[in-house]
Amino acid sequence: MTAGPISTDTGSTGFEPGREPAVARRPQGEGTYVEPRTGNAASVKDAPSVPELLARGRTLCTPPLRAAVARLAAPMDTVAAYHFGWIDRDGTPVAGDGGKAVRPALALLSAQAVGAPAEAGVPGGVSVELVHNFSLLHDDLMDGDETRRHRATAWTVFGPAQAILVGDALATLGTEVLLDAAVTGGASAADAARAVRLITSATRKLIDGQAMDVAFEQRDVVTVEECLEMEGGKTGALLAAASAIGAVLAGADDRTSASLQRYGHHLGLAFQAVDDLLGIWGETEVTGKPHWGDLRQRKKSLPVCAALAEGGAASRRLAEQLADPVGRGEESEHVLAARAALIEEAGGRSWTRDEARRQHRTALAALDEVPMADEVREHFVALAEFVVVRER
């Protein structure tokens, strides 16, 4: 495990006893990016435990998520359960939390942002998880990715048809669970319909982003703006929906919803910038992805686009390499390491780090537009920090 490119904020002490701070879960000095805390001493002191927030999201959202998946006809229920990490390929139950579940945590918080109980956001948390996993199932197949979260992807185990079908079914369930919220009385029919609009619109942006990503594979050069637009679709749209959907289910006005969505959108872009850094300089043990994977695939991620835009000598050498069809996908470790060095030399790594900071700050600024209880705001701030300071 290498040290992160920016030294982590390890000086944030003063957490209440018994409330484990987010950073305590990580070896010190290993974050990929962190913005120094800007809050005053009191807010740092009261900072909530991110693991607790995530655990609450899982505790409240996983049972209804499992119930929704159990509605699928065989064998789709099995394929979905495997994909979520609940069972192995033989059907044996697997202990584990099935991922960080940041989106459900955000959905619950967003209900609290408008004064509703966290529980009001549950259908929203379930919906965003369903849509997120629909996109993972389809993207892995389209991209030919064979590994996710250290496991064989569903299409490699159950075949392409099942990956397509189960993805389709999860997307549909993502709408059904929101409509159910109105039936069970957890939300008004009008608010449930607004939540459906929110998730549907995010799903379309997500598909648009993936379409751009697929198209970029055929191109040698992608501008930074295009890359940000693609990442805004692939990552920003659903985090935006997650950050507002609980509020919408609880009757938030459009302005509050828009601000919360902006927070989530920029948080998504910050997350993606960090992800792009890890995709090149992250270690396989922590990322769960193949070493130099993004470079081997000649992925036009942010560091690459930024390096290509710089225009200096290293930038031009990089452009030549990426335009050269020879050895595509078969480059040695040595060649890929040299390419990573070129990207760094052309400023791609530092630009992306700065971009993560900018997006993180913009996300927090959007949060300031929404009046909410201090504790809820602190939770949003803590989750944002957790999302951008990470190794996987």
Q: Which two tokens stand for residue 359?
A: 């997006």
Residue that the structure tokens 């920003």 belong to? 236
CB 224 within 8 A of CB 306: yes
CA gap 55, 270 in Å, rounded: 23
Nearer to its own copies, 75 or 311 (CB): 75
Nearer to its own copies, 47 or 237 (CB): 237
Could you give the 3-state DSSP secondary structure of residue 389? coil
Please report which residue ranges of 217-253 form alpha helices under DSSP H: 224-231, 237-249
CA gap 61, 55 in Å, rounded: 10
Nearer to its own copies, 187 or 269 (CB): 187
Task: Work out how close the CB of 106 gets to its own copies at its nearest, in angstroms, rounded to a whole number.
Answer: 21
Task: Work out how close the CB of 135 gets to its own copies at its nearest, in angstroms, rounded to a whole number.
Answer: 8
Nearest to residue 110, comparing CAs of 130, 127, 132? 127
Residues that bind its own copies (CB under 8 A): 72-73, 75-76, 134, 138, 141-142, 160-162, 164-165, 167-169, 171-173, 175-176, 179, 182, 189-190, 192-193, 196-197, 200-201, 203-204, 207-208, 210-212, 214-215
One-letter identity of residue 126:
V
Nearer to its own copies, 1 or 190 (CB): 190
Cβ partners under 8 Å of residue 321, min gap 6: 339, 342
Task: Work out how close the CB of 214 gets to its own copies at its nearest, in angstroms, rounded to a whole number.
Answer: 5
One-letter identity of residue 318:
L
Nearer to its own copies, 240 or 384 (CB): 240
Nearer to its own copies, 220 or 310 (CB): 220
CB count, 10 Å around CB of 150?
Answer: 12
Task: Work out how close the CB of 168 gets to its own copies at its nearest, in angstroms, rounded to a whole number.
Answer: 5
Task: Work out how close the CB of 67 gets to its own copies at its nearest, in angstroms, rounded to a whole number.
Answer: 15
Task: Work out how close the CB of 179 gets to its own copies at its nearest, in angstroms, rounded to a whole number.
Answer: 5
